[in-house]
């Protein structure tokens, strides 16, 4: 699959999974125009556009450089939570997330910053920055949305994203049937990461607030490293271990029990 094709495909598969689940659980799709407007904005700017931006950018920017931008997401979420939602953020939590961000930068590999100014990479890097801003803002947006069943809202947002992604998927569809492994991978990332993952993210934000999920970027790095070693035969280098230890330290520092919001 092409980069844009895989980005569009995961949205379509996520919707194909979540919409039937919404009806099977008795929730269905949003029933009011007001809620559809909120859901459409979330589907377009909180799901489809960020994913397409990052997969497009990674055709030109090495993965380690792309990864170096993602520590900004939890930090941006803290800033947005403080400014927009008026959530009190302790110094300890700020310090912990900054420490965790350094861990992610270590994991992105040596020479990241020396490579970041390569000619022709400025537009792709801006696309990744825009992706980070949109993902952080989406968490705040979810908290501000009208009250509705999470399954209903997630299914509606994914349906909007899928409809918008359909023309891209048609243009980028492979000329031949892909092998089983990439097909299974795309189905898995569509159903598990995009469908179920976004549902869980929505539920957590509504119950605890955006600050509660800020460690997500760091936990992703820990889980990815574990799965890579366990299933892909990857080796743990000294830099990887140092990065993981730094991330764990940041997570421990940040867990001061503050910043959580009431269920909404």
Q: At what angle do helices 150-172 and 197-208 cross, to 10 degrees?
A: 140
* pLDDT value for 120: 57
**DSSP string of 187-252?**
HHIIIIIIIIHHHHHHHHHHHH-GGGGTTHHHHHHHHHHHHHHHHS-----HHHHHHHHHHHHHHH
Q: Between the ranges 63-67, 107-111, 225-229, where is the mean pLDDT highest?
A: 225-229
**Res. 29: pLDDT tops 90:** yes
Mean pLDDT of 39-55: 94
* pLDDT value for 205: 94
Helix (H, G, I), strand (E, B) or coil at 1: coil
**Res. 25: pLDDT tops 70:** yes
Q: Which residues, in sequence order, are CB contacts of 139 under 8 Å at separation 6+?
A: 77, 80, 201, 205, 210, 213
Question: Rounded to a whole number, what is the largest CA-CA distance in the chain?
Answer: 55
Q: Between the ranges 10-14, 52-56, 70-74, 214-218, where is the mean pLDDT highest?
A: 10-14
The rounded mean pLDDT for the chain is: 88
Task: Tell me the backbone φ, ψ of residue 26, rounded to 5 degrees.
Answer: 85, 5
CA 239 to chain centre: 24
pTM: 0.86
Structure-token pair, residue 190? 């569509």
pLDDT above 70 covers a percentage of the chain that reads: 95
138 and 50 Cβ atoms separated by less than 8 Å = yes
* pLDDT value for 111: 54
* Cα gap 77→110, rounded to integer Å: 27
Identify which has the larger pLDDT, 171 or 240: 171
Model confidence at 121, in pLDDT bands (50, 70, 90)?
confident
pLDDT digits (tens, 9 = 90+) for 200-211: 999 999 999 999
pLDDT digits (tens, 9 = 90+) for 84-118: 999 988 999 999 989 988 888 887 765 555 554 55
Identify which has the larger pLDDT, 118 or 171: 171
């Amino acid at each position: 699959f092409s980069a844009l094709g895989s980005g569009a495909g995961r949205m379509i598969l996520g919707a194909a999974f979540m919409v039937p689940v919404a009806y099977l659980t008795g929730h269905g799709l949003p029933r009011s125009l007001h809620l559809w407007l909120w859901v459409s904005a979330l589907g377009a700017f909180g799901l489809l556009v960020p994913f397409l931006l990052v997969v497009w950018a990674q055709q030109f920017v090495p993965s380690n450089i792309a990864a170096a931008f993602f520590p900004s997401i939890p930090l941006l979420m803290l800033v947005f939570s403080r400014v927009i939602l008026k959530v009190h953020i302790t110094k300890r939590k700020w310090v912990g997330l900054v420490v965790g961000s350094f861990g992610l930068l270590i994991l992105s590999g040596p020479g990241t910053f020396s490579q970041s100014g390569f000619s022709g990479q400025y537009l792709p890097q801006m696309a990744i920055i825009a992706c980070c801003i949109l993902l952080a803002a989406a968490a705040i947006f979810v908290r501000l949305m009208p009250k509705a069943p999470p399954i209903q809202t997630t299914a509606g947002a994914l349906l909007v994203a899928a409809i918008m992604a359909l023309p891209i998927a048609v243009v980028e569809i492979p000329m031949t049937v892909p092998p089983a492994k990439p097909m299974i991978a795309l189905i898995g990332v569509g159903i598990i990461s995009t469908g179920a993952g976004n549902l869980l993210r929505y539920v957590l934000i509504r119950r605890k607030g955006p600050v509660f999920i800020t460690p997500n970027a760091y936990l992703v790095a820990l889980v990815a490293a574990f799965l890579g070693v366990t299933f892909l035969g990857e080796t743990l280098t000294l830099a990887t271990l140092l990065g993981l230890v730094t991330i764990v330290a940041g997570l421990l520092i940040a867990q001061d029990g503050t910043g959580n919001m009431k269920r909404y």
